[in-house]
Amino acid sequence: MSNTKTIAFVGLLISMEIIFTRFLALQTPIIRIGFGFIPIAFSGIMFGPVIGGLTAAIADILGMLIFPKYAYFPGFTLSAFLTGAVYGLFLHKKKKPVTLSNIIKSVLLITIFVDLGLTTLWVYMTTGKAAAALLIPRISKSAIMLPIQIVSINVLWKYIGSHINKSDYVKE
């Protein structure tokens, strides 16, 4: 895929992530339940860890600038970057096949280390609430979202990804 096509496609994924996260998600000060992970996973699958991470980070920054709900905190942008990078490391089609096993590994790693680890730390730092009080609802949310994320990425990539021409986005 040419640089122009890559930039355009990444821009589309960023806008989808912002819409899914800012408008189509249930948001509380402690947790967010939504489908913003889908465009980030697709970015990681199609373009690898660096562009996947940058897609997530740019979407986080633009989402905060355009639709601010709280003060900007760079830790959340780091978590977003790591999420996109992990999807790219485990699912980038040029390096590894998009299998159910690789999807499970990537979602588990993101859920445990990024969502429950780093993001909980960022919420603790920004809200001042006790970490134990934050962990209980966040673990519950993660337990519910884990299978939803795995199934969503697997099914959507199987059906939507099959219509995307590999030669358009993978440089050989």
Mean pLDDT of 11-32: 84
Provide the CATH number for the domain around residue 137. Answer: 1.10.1760.20
Count of residues making up the chain: 172
Go through 73-95 and write b for each residue having 16 or more CB atoms within 10 A of its CB, e for each that does not. eeebbbbbbbbbbbbbbbbbbee
Tell me, yes or no, whether 19 lies in a domain. Answer: yes
Is 172 domain-assigned? Answer: no
Q: What is the pLDDT of residue 163?
A: 75
The verdict on residue 171 lying in a domain is no
Indicate the number of domains in the chain: 1
Residue 35 lies in a domain: yes
Residue-number span of the structural domain to which 107 is assigned: 3-166
Write the single-letter amino acid at 79: S
* pTM exceeds cut of 0.75: yes
Residue-wise pLDDT tens digits, 68-113: 878 889 999 999 999 999 999 999 877 677 899 999 999 999 999 9
User: Is 59 inside any structural domain?
Assistant: yes
**pLDDT (tens digit per residue) in 127-164:** 877 777 778 888 988 898 899 999 999 999 988 877 77
- Considering only 20-24, 30-34, 139-143, 162-166, which range has the smallest mean pLDDT? 162-166
Establish if 107 belongs to a structural domain.
yes
How far the first Cα of the chain sits from its last, in Å, is 10
Is 94 within the bounds of a domain? yes
Instruction: Indicate whether 157 belongs to any domain.
Output: yes
Residues 15 and 39: their CA atoms lie apart, in Å, by 9
Tokens of 27: 């948001």
